[in-house]
Amino acid sequence: MPGGAGQESRTGGNVGLMSLIRALSKELEARSDNSLRALFDARPDLITPPVPDFGALAARASARLSVQRALERLNRPQMQVLETLHLCTNTDTGHSASAAGLRKMIPGSSGAAVERILHTLQDLALVHRADPPHGTPESAAKQRHYLPVGSLKDVVGIYPAGLGRSYTELVRLQPAFAQRVVQLVSELHRSGVAIHDATTPMEAALALQHWTSSPEALNTILSTAPERTTALLARFRNWAMGAVPQAQRKASITTEGSDVGPVDWLLARGLLVPLDAAHVELPHSVGLSLRGGAIINDFTLQPPVPELGRTSAVLRRNAALSAISETLRLMGELLHAVREQPLATLRSGGVGVREMRRLAELLRIDQQQTGLLLELAALAGLIRLDVDSSSWVQPPQLEWLVLPRQEQWLWLVNAWLASERVPSLVGQPINGTRGVPAAHRSASGSTIIALSAEAQRPDAPLVRKRILEILHELTVEAGSADGTAPVLDAAAVLQRAEWAQPRMARRFSSMIRGVLAEAELLGLVGSGALSQLGSALAEDQPEAAIAILGEHLPAALSHVLLQADLTAVAPGYLDPGLTEKLLVMADAEGQGPATIYRFSEGSIKRALDTGYDAAGILEFLRDHSATAVPQPLQYLVEDTSLRHGRLRVGPAASFVHSEDEGALLELLSGPTAAHLKLEKIAPTVLVSSAPPRETAQVLRTLGLSPAVDGADEPVVRLRGTQAAQDAHRPVYTAPRMAPGTEEVEAQLAVLRQGGAAVGHRGASGDHAGETGTQLGLEALQRAIRLKQRISMNVVDGLGNANLETVVPLSVSGGRVRVFDPARETERVLSIHRIIDIEAAEETAPVKDFPA
């Protein structure tokens, strides 16, 4: 019964008044193992961590967080039935409802459909069977009646099914409205409107409720409304609250002129109730009457089918494959750039604009793309934050670099699917930095910067998985007639997501565009359509994807074409090792599958600097060129090397210096010191690749007594080599949707044994731990709603327990506000000081509240 709270009988004895948790516990216990398995499968959080017994299971199933998660998985009709059930029942009084009863509130549905959905909801432990309400006619009482779990009220929020609160509730909760409502009703009464006069706010609320209680009544009222009123009300159709400028303006029926606006008109009649300066609410009875007396008026069991464009399969494949090879190529270049120079981070975290610009320039792409790529590299573990230097480096011996391209791709895709990072958020404005500690706020203050904390979204894996599934679903539904594939845009996916998981839709809508863009980058979406690779992944068949990709991605080339304009063209994907070497002696140009390497004096000098000589460079080029080395290139290399290296640098770990040239010559020619690999670099100087200590040791054994300069061994510290955990190839496991079979079976065994045998938390019986807490909270909350007295044992500061009888008023943030009737004061108690709670007006004690 809508708005039925407070009107029902409060007498006990009814099963509804028994603890809902106990009722649920009994019901769960009576279920078959298979039914429980299905339940655990659908709500894995119920048994993670495992529960000791059915009481605990029921308690957890009723916990707010668990219910919230369960609701996220419901589709729109299920949600609609559940919300209707919520509106038509009262868990405090045990007033239940049947499918037939709900059906009346959901036009377009059938009794069987509603019954079926209720059954599903019951399987999910979101509703359970209950006795019919008192005074139900015998025929109707035979039908199954249901009640939702207690915490549903908190989870669905204040606007279930988008309907507002009742006038009585508004009067209770909105003091401003309570002050005004009596005058408002009197004014209406006096100006001849058929409404009862009232002297108290509650009477006035009831009068308004009665006045607007049927669609016909409301139609009569609205028949004199100014034009555009209907249009305005239509905006409140799906959601009871709306924004209106100056919502608390003075609007009165006695002063209004003929040119009154719709908002003033509605406010003056109490059809919209101001909440604060900018918002108004459409009260429950008005909303219900607007919907023709129904709670739900868009019920359908079939998901909406979006209108989709089509693209050819050839284009789709081309787009996906080109995106993949481009992403992999850029990733390779990115890693090369990071190896050359690690990416510095800002003090506040993330990579700053200057570094991004440098990187973008190096990669010859724009900054937005660079951000995406960088995030992708980080989430795949291809680069990681070096704590000592606080810069991003590539881990040493990165396996990714040497994998075939299809496996490189899978590595990226797996990491992406599993990652809580959302690369596409980079560059987006930061909104709602509330939850983020100040230290993590982006330095620029306006947009999210790459590799900063803001690009983290814990639900990203789940959303990605679902989006991929929806894409697949829509693709399969649309079929692939005559070599075409459906183009799926964000709107189509969102429409389906809103139907399939309305409670998740908001999270979808904020991420969908980004996820699609990322999927395009990874070739899961091509030319706007889900690619074969994307389908394979949606079906959890990564091997199939690898196979497809392996077929289309050519193997690495091991040669380039050298040309007289001093370029080397790699006509395709070049072996990474070769690329690395070429990049030393030439500069890369161009953007795409082929790369052009341009040789110049500068680049050849660079190669000479890294230890190549002219012959070495030319030999390398000859070995890896499909064509002869052009004369100008040869000239360039030789000419540059001739004038390079007037100062020579070579490796040596120690030197031997002596004015006695003969002694040195002797040392050099003798076999005794051969393993020191001595080399003469000047008449009086030899160098060795052995460290000074070892050299000195050998020389001593030869009867010489060397003096050792700078006795400390040189300490060479190379950046990025410190104990770093290597990046491991990510193996993607779908976000935990269901617990493993073993866990389920173990849990079932525990439950069926009655739990007592298992030493979980050392507690036994159904009052243990979680259950007790839930039961205590349930008792507390019910007492708050019904304004009942409770007695509880509270520990004071000295550790003494005192029994107190109070009326709880509210509970939040770990504290209870109570009214103490004995002292006639209000107090605030910490929940953790409460040992147990007992409803003072009930016989059954509720104990064991955790201390």
Partner 1 sequence: MNDGPLIVQSDKTILLEVDHELATEARHAIAPFAELERAPEHMHSYRLTPLGLWNARAAGLDAEKVLDTLLKYSRFPVPHSLLIDVEETMSRYGRLRLEKDPQHGLVMRTDDYPVLEEVIRAKKIQPLLGPRIDGETVVVHASQRGQLKQLLLKIGWPAEDLAGYVDGTPHLIALNEDGWKLRPYQQMASDNFWSGGSGVVVLPCGAGKTLVGAAAMATGSTTTLILVTNTVAARQWKDELLKRTSLTEDEIGEYSGAVKEVRPVTIATYQVLTMKRGGLYPHLELVDGNDWGLIIYDEVHLLPAPIFRMTADLQARRRLGLTATLVREDGREGEVFSLIGPKRYDAPWKDIESQGYIAPADCVEVRVDLPKDERVAYAMAEDTDKYRLCATSESKTRVVEQLVSRHAGEQLLVIGQYIDQLDELGERLKAPVIKGDTSVKVRQKLFDAFRAGEIQTLVVSKVANFSIDLPEASVAIQVSGSFGSRQEEAQRLGRLLRPKKDGRSARFYSLVARDTLDQDFAAKRQRFLAEQGYAYRIMDAKDVETAD
Residues that bind partner 1 (CB under 8 A): 314-315, 317-323, 325-326, 364, 526-527, 551-554, 561, 563-567, 569, 571-572, 590-594, 627, 630-632, 635-636, 639
Helix ranges (H only) for 661-786 are: 661-669, 692-701, 741-752, 769-786
Distance CA 407, CA 380 (A): 13
Work out how close the CB of 554 gets to partner 1 at its nearest, in angstroms, rounded to a whole number. Answer: 5
The residue (of 185 and 320) whose beta carbon lies closer to partner 1 is: 320
Work out how close the CB of 600 gets to partner 1 at its nearest, in angstroms, rounded to a whole number. Answer: 9
The residue (of 572 and 577) whose beta carbon lies closer to partner 1 is: 572
Q: What is the DSSP string of 357-417?
A: HHHHHHHTS-HHHHHHHHHHHHHTTSSEEETTTTEEEPPSS-GGGGS-HHHHHHHHHHHHH
Q: What residues have CB less than 8 Å from 212, skipping those under 6 apart?
A: 218, 221, 271, 283, 285, 286, 289
The residue (of 226 and 550) whose beta carbon lies closer to partner 1 is: 550
428 alpha carbon, distance to own chain's centre: 16
Work out how close the CB of 567 gets to partner 1 at its nearest, in angstroms, rounded to a whole number. Answer: 7
Work out how close the CB of 629 gets to partner 1 at its nearest, in angstroms, rounded to a whole number. Answer: 12
Work out how close the CB of 528 gets to partner 1 at its nearest, in angstroms, rounded to a whole number. Answer: 9
Work out how close the CB of 322 gets to partner 1 at its nearest, in angstroms, rounded to a whole number. Answer: 4
Distance CA 116, CA 129 (A): 14
Question: If 0-12 CB within 10 Å is exposed, 13-18 middle and 19+ buried, where does residue 268 land?
Answer: buried
The residue (of 483 and 592) whose beta carbon lies closer to partner 1 is: 592
The residue (of 142 and 635) whose beta carbon lies closer to partner 1 is: 635
Helix 33-42 and helix 111-123, axial crossing angle in degrees, nearest 10? 90
Structure tokens at 664: 């040195």
The residue (of 589 and 713) whose beta carbon lies closer to partner 1 is: 589
Work out how close the CB of 551 gets to partner 1 at its nearest, in angstroms, rounded to a whole number. Answer: 8
Q: What residues have CB less than 8 Å from 519, skipping those under 6 apart?
A: 467, 468, 525, 534
Work out how close the CB of 631 gets to partner 1 at its nearest, in angstroms, rounded to a whole number. Answer: 4
Work out how close the CB of 426 gets to partner 1 at its nearest, in angstroms, rounded to a whole number. Answer: 19
Question: Nearest Cα to 811, choosing from 850, 771, 768, 778?
Answer: 778
Q: What is the DSSP string of 66-130?
A: HHHHHHHT--HHHHHHHHHHHHH-BTTTTB-EEHHHHHHHSTT--HHHHHHHHHHHHHTTSEEEE
The residue (of 166 and 527) whose beta carbon lies closer to partner 1 is: 527
The residue (of 395 and 528) whose beta carbon lies closer to partner 1 is: 528
According to DSSP, the β-strands at 145-148 and 384-386 are unpaired
The residue (of 188 and 330) whose beta carbon lies closer to partner 1 is: 330
Backbone dihedral region for residue 281 (phi beyond 0: left; psi -120 to 50: alpha; all else: beta): beta
Provide the 10 A C-beta neighbour count for residue 773. Answer: 18
The residue (of 523 and 755) whose beta carbon lies closer to partner 1 is: 523
Helix 601-609 and helix 576-585, axial crossing angle in degrees, nearest 10? 110
Work out how close the CB of 636 gets to partner 1 at its nearest, in angstroms, rounded to a whole number. Answer: 8
The residue (of 474 and 636) whose beta carbon lies closer to partner 1 is: 636
The residue (of 395 and 526) whose beta carbon lies closer to partner 1 is: 526
The residue (of 151 and 532) whose beta carbon lies closer to partner 1 is: 532
CA distances in angstroms from 217 to 220, 233, 244, 453, 636, listed in the order given:
5, 16, 25, 55, 95
The residue (of 138 and 366) whose beta carbon lies closer to partner 1 is: 366
Helix 614-623 and helix 576-585, axial crossing angle in degrees, nearest 10? 140
The residue (of 564 and 707) whose beta carbon lies closer to partner 1 is: 564
Structure tokens at 799: 């550790």
Judge contact between 67 and 134, C-beta under 8 A: no
Work out how close the CB of 563 gets to partner 1 at its nearest, in angstroms, rounded to a whole number. Answer: 4
The residue (of 319 and 463) whose beta carbon lies closer to partner 1 is: 319
Distance CA 210, CA 98 (A): 25
Work out how close the CB of 385 gets to partner 1 at its nearest, in angstroms, rounded to a whole number. Answer: 30
Report the Cα–Cα distance between both ends of the chain, in Å, rounded: 39
Question: If 0-12 CB within 10 Å is exposed, 13-18 middle and 19+ buried, where does residue 163 land?
Answer: buried
Residue with tokens 């990025």: 720
The residue (of 632 and 683) whose beta carbon lies closer to partner 1 is: 632
The residue (of 521 and 744) whose beta carbon lies closer to partner 1 is: 521
Work out how close the CB of 527 gets to partner 1 at its nearest, in angstroms, rounded to a whole number. Answer: 6
> Length of the chain in residues, anyone?
851
Work out how close the CB of 512 gets to partner 1 at its nearest, in angstroms, rounded to a whole number. Answer: 20
Distance CA 376, CA 414 (A): 11
Work out how close the CB of 696 gets to partner 1 at its nearest, in angstroms, rounded to a whole number. Answer: 47
Structure tokens at 527: 């030319």
Instruction: Count CA atoms within 13 Å of residue 543 on its CB side.
Output: 0
Distance CA 427, CA 425 (A): 6
Work out how close the CB of 473 gets to partner 1 at its nearest, in angstroms, rounded to a whole number. Answer: 24
Give the chain's largest Cα–Cα span.
Answer: 129
Work out how close the CB of 709 gets to partner 1 at its nearest, in angstroms, rounded to a whole number. Answer: 41
Structure tokens at 596: 């052009």
CA distances in angstroms from 262 to 93, 186, 284, 385, 695, listed in the order given:
39, 21, 19, 59, 98
Q: What is the DSSP string of 253-268?
A: TTT--TT--HHHHHHH
Work out how close the CB of 148 gets to partner 1 at its nearest, in angstroms, rounded to a whole number. Answer: 49
> Residue 833's beta-bridge partner residues?
none
Residue with tokens 């829509």: 474
Provide the 10 A C-beta neighbour count for residue 757. Answer: 11
